[in-house]
Amino acid sequence: DPAIERWQLMRDSQYMHFKWTPLKTRQVVNLMIVVPALCGLLAYSTDLRWDWAGKLKGQSLLRNPPAKQEDQE
């Protein structure tokens, strides 16, 4: 099929026609710096927050659950 051959040739020679434009620079920075930094920030902020081991139904999954407030009459 000629269309498959053209597509393969385009894919094989794509690196020779690549140019750093402002748009491509922003995309590379976003994908290689900003996205991993946001994932790391999310992981750091939730680290040691949850405790999944040995929890029963109805128990909080938080490692340090808030204290229960007793009803004052």
CB-side exposure of 56: number of CA atoms within 13 Å? 0
Q: What is the pLDDT of residues 8-66, one digit of tens each?
A: 999 999 999 999 999 999 999 999 999 999 999 999 998 888 887 888 888 888 888 88
Q: What is the per-residue pLDDT for 67?
A: 80
What is the four-CA torsion angle of 64, 65, 67, 71, rounded to 10 degrees? -170
